[in-house]
């Protein structure tokens, strides 16, 4: 199958340092590709080259004539747009269905009338997603699509992408998202790409195998160089020609060894720990909080002990940050009480990565502009050494924060939070923008941390790996706590977090008791004349509506209709929408009456 887009031998250098040396990318129709690599390895840059936004220094970029591409940036640009609807519609091409813009905005919880200058991070991300999905392009290039999204929206996006024919190239730190969507992995490492015909689920195993083979090859090369150098120093002199050839081979081996760029090391994340807290860390009794008479938290109680790992999840706007503030004592409840245990030293990571002065350098951000050392666990350490633990090079220490990538800002915020001695870590979206390797190290650090952790996260895999219980909103300010990780919560709750009421499987005794109570209290039902008439005629009405929808759909399938006859197109769209609404209502009414008929006949 001919590729829709193909990049060959891409090279790009920034500031004298090669970012991409021999990068390649090939995407065919319908392929699901994840692009993985360390923060700063050039993933976003390669995606921008694919989208035609950056010109490489060398290499070729081929796009199939007529193929449509849409790129989702990490930071969308809303300039020139008065509303979110105009922003989304600007992404449509001539002939695209304008109804899709409004439809997708509504699916993503937006009206289309929002002022882009007042959007939250999550709202901006949802508007940007609507913009790239609305045209139904041949290729979707998605750079961290799940950032700032709540779990409900992430799961909606997964379902939507699975149902589309578009080819996908995804950069994401969300393991579960990549597991569920990708079938091919392109690994960008040290400026070069490797294409692996496996989804992300199997990538890490393949990566470790490749790095182990690479290390073995370098070990063999070192031994060969040592043997040749020994021959040069102590070998019996042979013919001059042969000596010259072997010396040239030795120089080539040395050059190969010098040119080898080893894999980037792992971050060395260590949390500075204070003295142990008491056994009780936080106890909340019947706490409530209202905003404008709307219940955010209603009659919630919990007890958090030392070494607990608590995850708080829920849709955006459900009150996660408010609950966290109540539990940590930074916000007073309207009713109820919160008791903080003894000897508590708290360190927190804010969700807002832009809260620091962008004019500061990395060193100033770590020391708050005071000196060039930091205190970690009672030990003084030079800021350069500490920042190297978080994969910052010594040259970056004087870099202004405005020049950092999202992942680098995330690592900086972690470095600041974990430098403070603590026995209670409060983390609001700690995984945002972190690369997968740094996420692994963060998970290990939290597992080894002897204190207590409370975190808000939308990363399902991270929650499953780290937390011991999950607190979830149930609607109307009610919150419940479930033992285990995110997957355990779903199994116990019987519904995803979009549902406001948890579903529990009743026991056989409970079912029999409920059925007996219902039979004793409810009046006997019967079908009246109108019900019987509707039962007889609704199937004919449903068949007629299905035929009408089929006819209208075949009319709308004509790609030239919009350009040829706009009025006919709009009339067909209105008619099919009404027919679909009528069909849903008819089917629901028929089902209700059919269940009533079975109940009456079985009584």
Look at residues 460, 450, 365, 437 and name the one whose alpha carbon lies nearest to residue 403. Answer: 365
d(CA 78, CA 303): 44
DSSP per-residue codes, 14-38: ETTEEEEEEEEEEE-TT-EEEEE--
Given a contact cutoff of 8 angstroms between Cβ atoms, the answer to whether 71 and 53 are in contact is yes
The answer to whether the Cα torsion of 418, 423, 425, 426 is positive or negative is negative
Residue 194's beta-bridge partner residues?
187
DSSP per-residue codes, 549-598: HHHHHHHHT-TTHHHH-HHHHHHHHHHHHHHHHHHHHHHHHHHHHHHHHH
Contacts of 224 (CB under 8 A, 6+ apart): 253
d(CA 585, CA 588): 5
Three-class secondary structure assignment of 129-176: HHHHHCCCCCEEEEECCCCCCCHHHHHHHHHHHHHCCCEEEEECCCHH
d(CA 429, CA 456): 5
- Helix crossing, 121-133 with 151-163: angle to 10°? 10
d(CA 111, CA 177): 26
d(CA 359, CA 329): 32
**Maximum Cα–Cα distance across the chain:** 114
Distance from the first to the final alpha carbon of the chain: 62
Instruction: Quickly count: other Cβ atoms within 10 Å of residue 572's Cβ.
Output: 19
d(CA 290, CA 299): 11
In the annotated binding site, the residues are: 37-44, 314-321
For residues 314-345, one letter each, b for 16 or more C-beta atoms within 10 angstroms of the residue's C-beta and e for the rest, the string is: bbbebbbbbbbbbbbeeeebeebebebbeebe
* Strands lying side by side in the sheet with 294-305: 294-305, 280-291, 335-340
In the annotated binding site for ATP, the residues are: 37-44, 314-321
Residue 470's beta-bridge partner residues?
311, 482
d(CA 496, CA 486): 10
H/E run at residue 301: strand 294-305
At 589, give phi and psi (nearest 5°): -65, -40
* CA 277 centroid distance within chain: 34
At 27, give phi and psi (nearest 5°): -130, 125
């Amino acid at each position: 199958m001919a590729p829709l887009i193909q990049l060959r031998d891409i090279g790009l250098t920034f500031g004298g340092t090669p970012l991409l040396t021999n990068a390649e990318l090939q995407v065919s129709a319908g392929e699901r590709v994840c692009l993985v690599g360390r923060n700063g390895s050039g993933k976003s840059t390669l995606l921008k080259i694919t989208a035609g936004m950056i010109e490489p220094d060398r290499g070729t970029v081929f796009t199939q004539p007529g193929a449509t591409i849409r790129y989702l940036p990490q930071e969308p640009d809303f300039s020139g747009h008065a509303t979110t609807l105009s922003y989304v519609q600007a992404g449509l091409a001539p002939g695209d269905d304008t109804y899709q813009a409004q439809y997708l905005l509504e699916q993503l919880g937006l009206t289309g009338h929002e002022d882009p200058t007042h959007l939250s991070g999550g709202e901006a991300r949802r508007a940007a997603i609507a913009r790239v999905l609305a045209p139904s392009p041949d290729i979707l290039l998605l750079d961290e699509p799940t950032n700032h999204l709540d779990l409900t929206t992430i799961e909606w996006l997964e379902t939507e992408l699975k149902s589309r024919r578009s080819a996908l190239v995804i950069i994401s730190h969300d393991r579960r998202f990549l597991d569920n969507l990708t079938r091919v992995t392109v690994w960008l490492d040290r400026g070069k790409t490797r294409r692996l015909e496996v989804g992300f689920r199997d990538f890490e195993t393949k990566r470790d195998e490749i790095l182990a083979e690479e290390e073995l090859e370098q070990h063999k090369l070192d031994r060969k160089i040592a043997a040749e150098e020994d021959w040069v120093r102590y070998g019996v002199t042979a013919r001059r020609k042969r000596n010259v050839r072997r010396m040239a081979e030795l120089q080539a081996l040395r050059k190969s060894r010098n040119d080898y760029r080893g894999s980037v090391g792992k971050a060395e994340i260590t949390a500075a720990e204070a003295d142990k807290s008491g056994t009780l860390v936080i106890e909340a009794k019947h706490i409530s909080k209202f905003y404008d008479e709307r219940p955010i938290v209603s009659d919630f109680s919990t007890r958090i002990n030392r070494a607990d790992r608590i995850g708080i999840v829920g849709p955006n706007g459900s009150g996660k940050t408010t609950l966290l503030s109540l539990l940590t004592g930074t916000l007073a409840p309207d009713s109820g009480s919160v008791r903080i245990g003894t000897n508590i030293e708290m360190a927190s990571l804010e969700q807002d990565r832009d809260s620091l002065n962008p004019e500061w350098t990395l060193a100033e951000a770590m020391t708050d502009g005071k000196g060039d050392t930091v205190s970690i666990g009672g030990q003084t350490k030079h800021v350069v050494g500490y920042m190297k633990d978080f994969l910052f090079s010594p040259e970056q220490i004087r870099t202004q924060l405005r020049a950092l990538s999202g992942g680098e800002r995330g690592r900086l915020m972690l470095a600041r939070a974990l430098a403070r001695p603590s026995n209670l870590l409060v983390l609001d979206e700690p995984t945002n923008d972190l690369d997968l390797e740094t996420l692994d190290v963060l998970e290990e650090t939290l597992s080894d941390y002897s204190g207590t952790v409370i975190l808000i996260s939308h990363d399902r895999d991270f929650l499953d790996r780290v937390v011991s219980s999950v607190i979830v909103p149930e609607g109307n300010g009610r919150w419940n706590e479930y033992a285990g990780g995110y997957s355990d919560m779903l199994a116990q709750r019987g519904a995803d977090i979009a549902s406001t009421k948890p579903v529990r499987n009743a026991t056989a005794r409970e079912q029999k008791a409920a059925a007996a109570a219902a039979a004793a209290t409810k009046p006997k039902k019967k079908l009246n004349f109108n019900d019987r008439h509707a039962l007889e005629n609704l199937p004919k009405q449903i068949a007629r509506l299905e035929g009408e929808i089929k006819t209208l759909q075949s009319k709308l399938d004509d790609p030239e209709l919009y350009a040829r006859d706009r009025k006919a197109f709009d009339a067909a769209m209105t008619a099919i929408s009404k027919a679909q609404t009528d069909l849903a209502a008819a089917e629901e009414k028929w089902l209700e009456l059919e269940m009533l008929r079975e109940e009456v006949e079985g009584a």
